[in-house]
Amino acid sequence: MARTLRLAVLVVALLVVGSVTAGTAAAAAGDATTAVYDVDDVESDIPDATLTDGGVYWQGQQLGLGNVSGDLANTTNRTDVETLHLRAYDSDDNELGRLVREIDLVEGNETLQTTDLNGTYLLLPADQRAVAITFQDGRVNGTVPTESAPAFEVLVQTLTVEWAPSPPSAVGSDRELQVRSNRLRYNVNVSSPDLNYTQLESAFMDDRFLRNQNGPFDNRRPFTRGAESYEVYADDDTVVLRGFADGSLRPDLAGLPRLPEAVMVEVTDTGVRDTASLSTGAVETGPFNVTQLRLPERVDPGQSVTMSATIANEWPGADTQTVTFEFAGRQQTVRTQLAGGAATEITATFTAPEAPGDKPYAVGAGGESATGTLTVVAPEPETGSESVSADDSSTSDSGGGTGLIGPIGVGGIMSTFSLLTVLLFRRR
């Protein structure tokens, strides 16, 4: 009976590649990678979000404050505010905390950088401690007493990206990138040192299914800021896709010449990033897969075992790979060349070991392998008892029996019979 088993060889390894930019403080223990950008920020002067009292924001975002000087003058008649103080705030005790940063006001739009923030905060005029400025959608809304001001919060985004374990039925190009974060939804910049923009676009956005799975959120940066499409970072060989708190990116890697060694995923507005890497063995193996395997389930010791595997090149380009057969600790290899999309059947013959039991086998051809066990049947045990003939079962040996016939003998029996006959005759 033919048995086809397919097992993934891709090994997930997390590689944190983030580096700290100039002026960036290290994150607290247990926090995610410090925010850092690798691509050119096409809209560095445009805020990622607008500040609203009581809102929750993420470390690395730029928060829009609007025209603070003009709005303060309009809402409070104060025209003398030139500097703001950003202070920590204890919302539980309604207590104003330490001074975190001074912000000089200039004409026009103002932004608050959150690169090193983690906690709850208020903005106050520099000469005030009893009055806080309130904001609504990035515009000054007035001032309120500090003890009643609704503070805003800045959190550190976590991000973990890894290749999902592949089920036995998966092929080399059928992989998912699992994404985990404490943030519900956001957009990510995806890049790879092995792939250009065209290859990335083909892998993640080439058809309707992929676009529905991976297409970026249009209400998240950069698309709410005037970007025309997801190609905003095309010049950096980076494609913008969607991220979830618990979700996945589903690429189709079948059209690539080889699997990418690493894929970097970077949150667009916070800069937090992680890298999903493949093992070296998986990268170097190529596009061949075992699509069918035929071999017996049980054999006798010393019997010839033939393994027949169908090998397919599932990628479009021609390639040459080594197909490896293994059985009970022995190995055979066959160098095979296949055109893109072609398949062939390859056989290998082994001799079953003398020792009975389940013996492992494997056929590998690229990133996928077929594995299992073949049973070497133990020989039928001998019964251990010999058939005994009727003659052997008798006790006719002279002197050896325990019955009457042995010691008396046939002659004695005949004499006794003759004596009885004479006695009966005389009595009559």
Kindly report, residue by residue over 8-35, the tens digit of the pLDDT. Answer: 333 333 333 333 333 333 333 333 343 4
d(CA 135, CA 141): 5
- Residues spanned by the domain of 362: 286-376
Per-residue pLDDT of the chain (428 residues; tens, 9 = 90+): 344 434 333 333 333 333 333 333 333 333 334 344 444 454 556 788 899 999 999 999 999 888 888 888 888 777 778 888 999 998 778 889 999 998 888 765 588 999 999 999 999 988 888 899 999 998 898 899 998 889 999 999 999 998 876 544 444 456 788 999 999 999 999 999 889 999 999 999 988 888 998 989 988 888 876 666 777 888 899 999 999 888 899 888 877 777 787 899 999 999 999 998 865 333 334 568 888 889 998 999 999 999 999 988 876 667 788 899 999 999 999 988 888 778 899 999 999 999 999 999 999 886 557 888 999 998 776 665 444 444 444 444 444 444 444 444 555 555 555 555 544 444 44
With tokens 């026009």, the residue in question is 108
Q: Is residue 405 in a domain?
A: no
Which CATH number belongs to the domain containing residue 349 in this structure? 2.60.40.10
3-state secondary structure of 412: helix
- Which of 45, 53, 61, 244 lies closest to 134 in space, CA to CA? 53
Whether residues 274 and 302 fall in one domain: no
Whether residues 372 and 293 fall in one domain: yes
Whether residues 145 and 162 fall in one domain: no
Dump pLDDT digits (tens) for 382-414: 665 444 444 444 444 444 444 444 444 555 555
Which residue type, as a one-letter code, is found at position 24? T
Half-sphere exposure of 184 (CA within 13 A, CB side): 3
d(CA 200, CA 173): 14
Whether residues 299 and 356 fall in one domain: yes
Distance, C-alpha 252 to centroid of its chain: 15
d(CA 377, CA 20): 62
Whether residues 80 and 173 fall in one domain: no
Whether residues 334 and 358 fall in one domain: yes
Q: Which two tokens stand for residue 118?
A: 């983690």
Whether residues 64 and 107 fall in one domain: yes
